[in-house]
Structure 1
Amino acid sequence: MAQATTQHRRLAHIDYKWIALSNTTLGILMAALNGSIVLIALPDIFRGMGINPLAPGETTFLLWALMGYMVVTAVLLVTCGRISDMFGRVRLYNLGFAIFTLGSILLTFIQGRGNFAATQLIVYRLVQGVGGAFLFSNSTAILTDAFPPHERGMAMGVNQIASIGGGFVGLILGGVLAAINWRAVFLVSVPIGLLGTVWAYMMLHETSRRRANQRLDIPGNILFAIGLTVILIALSYAIMPYGSSNMGWTNPWVLGGLAVGLLMLVGFALVELRVPDPMFQVHLFGIRMFAMGNIAGFLASVARGGLQFMLIIWLQGIWLPLHGYSFERTPLWAGIYMLPLSMGFLLMGPLSGYLSDRYGSRLFTTLGMVITAAGFVGLTLLPANFSYPVFAGLILLLGLGMGMFSAPNTASIMNSVPPEYRGVASGMRATFQNAGNTLSITLIFSLVTAGLASKLPAALYGGLTSVGVPAKVAEGISHLPPTGALFAAFLGYNPMATLLPREVLDGLSAANRSKVLGKEFFPDMISGAFMHGVVVAFTICALISLGAAVFSLFRGGKYIYEVQEPDRYEAASLLATDTIPD
């Protein structure tokens, strides 16, 4: 193994840790770019496929286009990490790069139109999710293997730059490319994926320590995959209307899915306590830094996961139209106006990672979540039609706080575990993060929808009747599920053009028709109801952020396994069997 390592170093003419950092950063950049570019380009993608995602029976395609990738990735992360600990992190990371690239190629060549094309979109996004699971579960472990303890926070911070930078670039590219051709949105990931795949197979090599005679925990993998999948799908459908209810929390399939999923996870926990090589390394939670870091990371994800969705809806559905932007142009400009959030991440992520290498993670993670809570509180005090410099300052504060937390928290978790468990530890950390993001979207959508449900019907009825819409029509529209208004705003559609029948629009006077279809009518009607829900949602996010700060505070002082447990580290090295050159 040492000979193979030396050969790779000589061929590269550069320290291997920088090769590992550059390739994993490219992988994170590609995944982040792909996620945000699809997010912002969905209106043009669906139009190109000839499908209206807001039409009855078609919202399922919208839901899975938004959530499918996230669900698959979250479900597979721990399994991918465990398999990587057994068979090699680089080997499985390389496979993930190839699978992700294959998904991008398939998306570029979607065939047909309508539901057939939308189904392909969802399936190929799921393929990308499988590749993403291998990338996310192994990139952090590969960096931890490659970098010495005093540089890992810096490395995680650089990875964070790629993640946030890719997300921002994706928002801009999505708006530009979608206007040219919706297939270009997927095509842009292909050359990055091909380059990264070839580069990974040529330059990366195995440095991990693998224990001998490990066995795959098949019952545990099956129970965990089914349980978490059912729960995440149930949570996704909980934000959709059911019957006469604005949300799906009374849907028997949602309630049944949550119950079955929880039972599966209970069974999974029982299995893990009895098998010799468990998939989920529960004993790692005996390490305080690992346990507190993961709990804090989960809470941080719950607090911030739905933030981007709500800010996009706020900008696209209310603020941008009130400031003269057409609904069709709002997706692109929403990304631009959210730049301060990304800048905060980019500024603070590498800096806090570097400083945490020297002083430990507790100060930075705790202070970061306190700053994040302050940012959420600030947003609750804004009016719907805010002053942009104030809004920009608040989301910059949020970005700084989240950036201050992320890299030190990740580095501290990975520093605290034995080397032979880094793959599964990385997968566990990423699973908590992704599950938290999904739960956050469900939570925030539910809270905002509840606020809309209580205030929006009266606002819609009064506004529509005031411009001459017949009372019966206005009554029917006022009781439509508020999620329709949220999704319309998210997609950059004018909801009035979608909700009002053509014959009703034609029956209005020219002045009233122009007013109804104008840029200010819908934002004026929805703003009060929307802000009622936003205040509740962001207040809860602030409280959850403070909870994350408390757990961060109690993680303990600086802890690095190789330093604190040198004898056990050497024993693990002697037991390792990673002697096969790659």
Structure 2
Amino acid sequence: MANETLGGSAVMAGGGRIPYKWSVLTNTTLGMLMATVNASILIISLPAIFDGLELDPLAPGNVSYLLWMLMGYMLVTAVLVVTLGRLGDMFGRVKIYNSGFAVFTVASIALALVPFGGAGGAIWLIAFRIAQGVGGAMIMANSTAILTDAFPARQRGTALGVNQVAGLAGSFIGLVLGGVLSAWNWRAIFWVSVIVGAIGTFWAYRNLQETASRRSGVKVDWWGNLTLAVGLTALLAAITYGIQPYGGHTEGWTNPMVLAGLIGGAVLLAAFAVLETRVEQPMFRLSLFKIQAVWAGNVAALLNAVARGGLQFMLIIWLQGIWLPLHGYSFESTPLWAGIYLLPLTVGFVVAGPVSGFLSDRYGAKLFATGGLVIMAASFVGLLLIPIDFSYPVFAVLLFVNGVGSGLFSAPNTTAVMNAVPADQRGVASGIRATFQNGGMVLSIGVFFSLLVAGLSSSLPGALHSGLAAQHVPDQAIAAVTAVPPVSLMFAAFLGSNPIASVLNAAGVHLPAATVGTLTGKTFLPQLLTGPFHSGLAVVFTLATVLALAGAVVSLFRGGIFIHDEVVQEQTDVEYEAA
């Protein structure tokens, strides 16, 4: 049985004395790794999942299933992290965090055991992905606060650097892991979450101890919780449906339900801001944003999240839909290879993250966070300038530079925010930071996809018509192909499917074998997509550059090193020196 001595900051485990703070770091790092791997592992595994459930990638309704499988997890984490951070402040951060591991593990078991195929199976997966998101939100909302509680101020940057590296590295590890596991069996991607979740749950309940003081007489701000949750859900769900076709349009921004979600969500969030200034015990104190490091750090994090949130999806579509087929890879093999070719992005982050966290403890966050965003902007410009059929070494260098920029920004920015808030507000501060980050990523995906689809819509039908006509394809078949919404063609390529072959089969068109071989080959569709895709990508990377530079400007206003006044016990200094 573990014997914890928190005053001496040590845990008896396996016969040796392990400093409690390192036990916290390893467990919270595992939690962040699990939560973020789970967010991305599905991206690469979707082709195998759609095949296993026997879902047609080009069927109009199935685009919604795809988007909700991907974005449902991120949406629910964005909505719940502030509430769960606040509950952690009230009832115990470790208690909420440990429960998150358990909820995540149970939901993962349900996902691995999905009993249905077709639409029923898709709905089952979406429902339990959302349940997973609840567990993930409980972990994300409190892990940063628990780390901040456990480490002295002079070591927080290093600890949070390791934690943040695990978070972002996990999102790219998930790409490769998902490709490997889904090639074997698509259910295996959920069993991995079960195993890691079970280990993390046992470890968390065994070793983590509540060190933050809990306050009595605290009330739950129900109106604040309700307006924030419903407002964010409406807004982010509207963005999800806005990038889907509606009423003959390539996108759904004219859909009354989308407009209602956007407007209603914005009104509810405004009402939330007003309510929080009037209730006796608000869910989070807006006065926190009077602290220079808090408002600058959160706004910079939001701009960073929007700038890079959709990047992963853009790069995967670029690789899977165009570059890999042009270089001889079959459509079926592109998901795995896309994950492998994106590894330089992870390497750059892993190299820069811990170093910037350690150095920011000594020199402050401004230089590293601001410089990281400038480096990210430079990498976006580089990606904008290279051709669609690029030289991979150049592409890999740009990915590495982008990862370095993200790593330089993330840990110092998080440390600066968490150091600046009062100890009893760390849970909600962690939740606010995660909301800005996760909400920004969902917003980014909606904005980037919308811009990309708009670019494709203006030129892709003409390119398809000209290319098919040059192969003497009958008008009936040309009409069938060009009638498919660009977003459906894009997602079909994203799912490792050759959409031309699927559309021709669905239209029942009979063509000579040689023509069919050309149309369904590895290069015909990617060559047609090159020009239209570049038009959309140019807009996307231009916006990403502007957002990253705007974040850098905001980051300059964070001020110098600021640690909120608090009573630091003498044992903390002793612990720090001993470490």
**Aligned residue for 2:529?**
526
**Offset, 1:489:** 1.8
**Aligned residue for 2:545?**
542
Instruction: Kindly indicate whether residue 156 of structure 2 is the aligned counterpart of residue 155 of structure 1.
Output: no
**Offset, 1:270:** 1.7
The one-letter amino acid paired with 1:535 is: A
Inter-partner Cα distance in structure 1 for 2:58 and 2:106: 29
Instruction: Kindly indicate whether residue 10 of structure 2 is the aligned counterpart of residue 9 of structure 1.
Output: yes
The one-letter amino acid paired with 2:227 is: L
- Residue pair 1:53, 1:61 contacting (<8 A) in 2 also: no
Inter-partner Cα distance in structure 1 for 2:30 and 2:66: 28
Per-residue CA distance 1:8-30 (angstroms, 9 max, x = gap) = 83524111100000000111111
**Aligned residue for 2:251?**
247
**Aligned residue for 2:575?**
none
CA pair 8-349 structure 1, distance change in 2 beyond 3 A? closer
- Residue pair 2:165, 2:407 contacting (<8 A) in 1 also: no
Per-residue CA distance 1:386-422 (angstroms, 9 max, x = gap) = 0111111111111111111001001110000000000
**Offset, 1:4:** 5.8
Q: 1:509 aligns with which of 501, 508, 512?
A: 512
Q: Which runs of 5+ in 1 are unaligned?
A: 573-582
**Aligned residue for 2:201?**
197
Per-residue CA distance 1:492-533 (angstroms, 9 max, x = gap) = 11111122235655x322221111000000000011000001
The one-letter amino acid paired with 2:275 is: V
- Residue pair 1:327, 1:493 contacting (<8 A) in 2 also: yes
Per-residue CA distance 1:437-487 (angstroms, 9 max, x = gap) = 011001110111111011111100001111122124313422431111221
Inter-partner Cα distance in structure 2 for 1:306 and 1:49: 26
Instruction: Kindly indicate whether residue 121 of structure 2 is the aligned counterpart of residue 120 of structure 1.
Output: no
- Within 5 Å, which residues of 2 pair with 1:328-477? 328-477=332-481
- Within 5 Å, which residues of 2 pair with 1:488-499? 488-499=492-503
**Offset, 1:349:** 0.5
Q: 1:282 aligns with which of 286, 294, 301?
A: 286
**Identity of aligned pairs, percent?**
55
Q: Which deviates more, 39-48 or 303-312?
A: 39-48
| Count of residue pairs the alignment pairs up | 565
Inter-partner Cα distance in structure 1 for 2:453 and 2:136: 31
3-state SS in 1 of match to 2:500: helix
Q: Which deviates more, 266-275 or 122-131?
A: 266-275
Per-residue CA distance 1:315-348 (angstroms, 9 max, x = gap) = 0000000000000000000000001111110100
- Within 5 Å, which residues of 2 pair with 1:226-265? 226-265=230-269
**Offset, 1:560:** 1.0
- Residue pair 1:8, 1:203 contacting (<8 A) in 2 also: no
**Offset, 1:186:** 0.5
The one-letter amino acid paired with 1:86 is: M
**Offset, 1:212:** 3.2
**Offset, 1:3:** 8.7
- Residue pair 2:89, 2:428 contacting (<8 A) in 1 also: yes
Q: Which deviates more, 42-51 or 320-329?
A: 42-51
Q: Which runs of 5+ in 2 are unaligned?
A: 570-579
Q: 1:24 aligns with which of 28, 39, 44?
A: 28
- Residue pair 2:301, 2:436 contacting (<8 A) in 1 also: yes
Per-residue CA distance 1:350-394 (angstroms, 9 max, x = gap) = 111110010000000111000000000111111110011111111
Inter-partner Cα distance in structure 2 for 1:543 and 1:511: 47
CA pair 528-3 structure 1, distance change in 2 beyond 3 A? closer
**Aligned residue for 2:271?**
267
- Within 5 Å, which residues of 2 pair with 1:297-308? 297-308=301-312
Aligned-residue CA RMSD (Å): 1.7
- Residue pair 1:171, 1:335 contacting (<8 A) in 2 also: yes
- Residue pair 2:349, 2:404 contacting (<8 A) in 1 also: yes
- Residue pair 1:209, 1:419 contacting (<8 A) in 2 also: no
**Aligned residue for 1:146?**
150
Inter-partner Cα distance in structure 1 for 2:473 and 2:284: 59
Instruction: Kindly indicate whether residue 172 of structure 2 is the aligned counterpart of residue 171 of structure 1.
Output: no
CA pair 401-451 structure 1, distance change in 2 beyond 3 A? same
Inter-partner Cα distance in structure 1 for 2:508 and 2:57: 22
- Within 5 Å, which residues of 2 pair with 1:40-51? 40-51=44-55
**Offset, 1:571:** 11
Q: Which deviates more, 263-272 or 85-94?
A: 263-272
The one-letter amino acid paired with 1:553 is: L
3-state SS in 2 of match to 1:11: strand
Instruction: Kindly indicate whether residue 219 of structure 2 is the aligned counterpart of residue 218 of structure 1.
Output: no
CA pair 403-259 structure 1, distance change in 2 beyond 3 A? same
Instruction: Kindly indicate whether residue 300 of structure 2 is the aligned counterpart of residue 316 of structure 1.
Output: no
**Offset, 1:139:** 0.4
CA pair 135-502 structure 1, distance change in 2 beyond 3 A? closer
- Residue pair 2:242, 2:253 contacting (<8 A) in 1 also: yes
**Offset, 1:284:** 0.2
The one-letter amino acid paired with 2:313 is: F
**Offset, 1:491:** 1.0
